[in-house]
Amino acid sequence: MKASDALVRKMEDLGVEIVFGIPGGANLPLYDSLYDSNIRSVLTKHEQHAVHAAEGYARVKKRPGIALATSGPGATNLVTGLVNAAMDSAPLVALTGQVVRSFMGTDAFQEADIVDVALPHVKYATVVLDSSKLVKEFVSAYKCAMSGRPGPTLLDLPRDVQQEDIGEFEGIDETVEPRFLKQSLPPDEILLEKAAEFIVEAKRVCILVGGGAYYSDASREILKLAEILNAAVITTTPGKTAVDESHPNVLGVVGMHGRFESNLAVIDSDLVLCLGTRLSDRAIGPPSEFKKSRRIIHIDVDASEIGKNVIPDVGISCDAKLALSRLIDILSTKRFSPKDPGWVLGLKEIGRSFDEYMFGQADRSRLSSWKIVKVIRDELPRSAIVTTGVGQHQMWAQLYFKVLEPGTFITSAGLGTMGFGLPAAMGAKAAAPDRIVLNMDGDGSFLMTCQALGTIVEYDFPVITVVFDNRALGMVRQWQDLFYKKRFKDVDIEDRTNLIKLAEAFGVEGLFVNSYEELRIALRRAIRNDEAIVIDVPIDKDEKVFPMVPPGKWLADVILPPGFSNNVEETASSPAK
Amino acid sequence: MKLLLLAKQGRLTLKEASLKANEGVIIADLVFEGPPEKIQWFMLKTSGSPYVLECKKIE
């Protein structure tokens, strides 16, 4: 049996149902093996689309997505997506073709050392030089991607290795060495007991939910604990997808572009329980300020994250769901006076007044991004999956789009990869064909990967795209406005690229809307018919994302929309300006 | 290579290195130096890496 035939057969055994990629000279044997397989292969327009689609698929399915590329430029085009997956802890396996072994190291046509390029950013990468080990290496890479903290892996496959005869499939060694598998250990009981003591003593508890809580499936435990403690649930950007944001205890995203009440919750808290998060500066601001005046309990499946950015009072290396289940058990044996439910209610009220203020600010002559997000949320079913590009629209989405079911918000959080939204949406639709998938995008972000529309049509992945079109790189423009004295440089997109005609060129309906009602009608039709559409929504390039905490500043240094702060100072007891 | 890159990420200094090859597999003994908290991070980080056979702290 040919090694690539054996590889494809093992992929089938492991439940791989779809791969995204582009064939080329160096991975032709693998594609030839896929010809006889039930695995669906999706030919993307660019390898970056393939790897983002694999990530979108993985985030919905909670199992590795597969991206294929040929050697050289095919492989290097995957790099952004691999780093993106590493930053957001998404499981995927990249299989790259490589020149034949005898040509390796000769600067052969389309030769690139992709293993060493990818190595700093993946959990595991190797070039498979022995065809008899190809299947075993794939199984190891696949399991490694999901084991412990999920992440990307890469196998580089010389063309002659793929096509070598390796004998009978049944005789293939596929045992996975323990070094590829991170065992999920039970939480340390002594540390849990200490955490419970601190929680009992605390008056105002915040639960900070990271993306790890989603992969751990800890939503139920988080909300149960929040109810027991009358705690405020706040999330990082990747953690937004882990909980139902309509729950009374959930405030929303915290950080640089966090919701005002979420940032206030941290400022006002005396204990933060951090779950499955690396405590990035974007979420918590300066670690010294975050640590000041409050106790920190940090639970993460990746032990190296504990103490990396913030030294916690208690650090527990464990799966979030497992640790929370035990913590709830321990707390149920303790007697403590209930925490004040008025705290979260007050914060919620501040959030409500903020939303009201923002809606009140909307200029009737222009469409407001906040209202656009609201229309989208109102029209989408609960189970619909939303992806985003990167930029202002992403921040409006994280601020105002309420996740109602876990796993329904997919965004590029850590790396901030513009162009992520559309291919990720394609992957999400492949994973969940019965659900509505909508990509919220900006015009700058959309134009980076818009060729994915062609794949969407060809493979029937009906994805709805709403473009927040301000003809600018809005977020960069906002920074130049606020921090560079309005010296706008290379942020205004002067071209008049017609997004409608562009969509139509790919065979997707394009529609320009100029009112909330037109947007609503377009969405209803697309949802009802489950059809691909690009909806171009003009917004004002001077519209900014607020709240905003300036880079390097503490959450209390938040910049609020002009006119709002006076309203809040009367009700907020916090030091926020 | 992966370990050297991780050490670089953790701002550790490579003090000693010896390489052996066994049937094409490179086995490296590497000694790094750094502040205790960075060493602790490095040990935890490498404990989850498929590239590491053993990692121990030397006082």
What is the C-alpha R_g of chain B?
11
Residue A504 identity: E
Interchain contact, B52 vs A179, CB within 8 Å: yes
Reported as a pLDDT band with limits 50, 70 and 90, residue A563 is confident
On whether both A374 and A520 belong to a single domain, the answer is yes
The mean per-residue pLDDT over the stretch A162-188 comes to 90
Per-residue pLDDT at A575 exceeds 70: no
Domain membership flag for residue A361: no
pLDDT in tens, A332-343: 999 998 899 999
On whether both A173 and A219 belong to a single domain, the answer is no
- Computed over every residue of chain A, the mean pLDDT equals 95
* Dihedrals phi, psi of A456, to nearest 5 degrees: -60, -40
On whether both A105 and A170 belong to a single domain, the answer is yes
On whether both A141 and A199 belong to a single domain, the answer is no
pLDDT at A573: 47
On whether both A318 and A461 belong to a single domain, the answer is no
Domain membership flag for residue A381: yes
pLDDT at A366: 84
Interchain contact, B40 vs A129, CB within 8 Å: no
pLDDT in tens, A144-167: 999 999 999 999 999 999 999 999
Nearest CB to A124 within list B1, B47, B50: B50
Domain membership flag for residue B54: no
pLDDT at B50: 87
Report the gap between the CA of A141 and the closest CA in chain B (Å): 10
Domain membership flag for residue A108: yes
On whether both A223 and A302 belong to a single domain, the answer is yes
User: Going by C-beta distance under 8 Å and a sequence separation of 6 or more, which residues neighbour residue A141?
Assistant: A93, A124, A153, A154, A155, A180
Domain membership flag for residue B58: no
Q: Domain containing A163: what range?
A: 3-180
pLDDT in tens, A67-103: 999 999 999 999 999 999 999 999 999 999 999 999 9
Q: Domain containing B24: what range?
A: 2-47
The domain tally of chain A equals: 3
Per-residue pLDDT at B25 exceeds 70: yes
Chain B positions in Cβ-Cβ contact with residue A307 (cut-off 8 Å):
37, 40-41
Domain membership flag for residue A577: no
Measured CA distances, B59 to A89, A450, B34, B52, B56 (Å): 33, 55, 11, 20, 10
Nearest CB to A120 within list B5, B47, B53: B5
Domain end among A119, A146, A180: A180
Q: Which of A57-66, A299-308, B49-58 comes out lowest in average pLDDT? A: B49-58
What ipTM does the predicted assembly reach?
A: 0.83
Between A361 and A239, name the one with better pLDDT.
A239
pLDDT at A495: 76
Per-residue pLDDT at A496 exceeds 90: no
Chain B positions in Cβ-Cβ contact with residue A140 (cut-off 8 Å):
50
Reported as a pLDDT band with limits 50, 70 and 90, residue A361 is confident
Domain membership flag for residue B55: no
User: Going by C-beta distance under 8 Å and a sequence separation of 6 or more, which residues neighbour residue A228?
Assistant: A328, A331
- Closest by Cα among A152, A163, A39 to A91: A152
Chain A positions in Cβ-Cβ contact with residue B37 (cut-off 8 Å):
307, 311
Reported as a pLDDT band with limits 50, 70 and 90, residue B6 is confident
On whether both A196 and A246 belong to a single domain, the answer is yes
Task: Please report how the helices A392-400 and A474-483 are oriented relative to each other, as an axis angle in degrees rounded to 10.
Answer: 90
Domain membership flag for residue B22: yes
On whether both A88 and A218 belong to a single domain, the answer is no
Interchain contact, B44 vs A182, CB within 8 Å: no
Interchain contact, A302 vs B9, CB within 8 Å: no
Interchain contact, B9 vs A123, CB within 8 Å: no
pLDDT at A567: 52
pLDDT at A562: 85
Measured CA distances, A53 to A112, A427, A506, B42 (Å): 23, 4, 18, 32
Interchain contact, B40 vs A302, CB within 8 Å: no
Per-residue pLDDT at A363 exceeds 80: no
Domain holding A510: CATH number? 3.40.50.970
Reported as a pLDDT band with limits 50, 70 and 90, residue B22 is confident
On whether both A225 and A123 belong to a single domain, the answer is no
User: Going by C-beta distance under 8 Å and a sequence separation of 6 or more, which residues neighbour residue A361?
Assistant: A368, A561, A563
Per-residue pLDDT at B30 exceeds 80: yes
The mean per-residue pLDDT over the stretch B24-52 comes to 87
Domain end among A132, A153, A180: A180
Q: Residue A149 carries which DSSP code?
A: S
Between A571 and A433, name the one with better pLDDT.
A433
The domain tally of chain B equals: 1
Rounded to two decimals, the pTM is 0.94
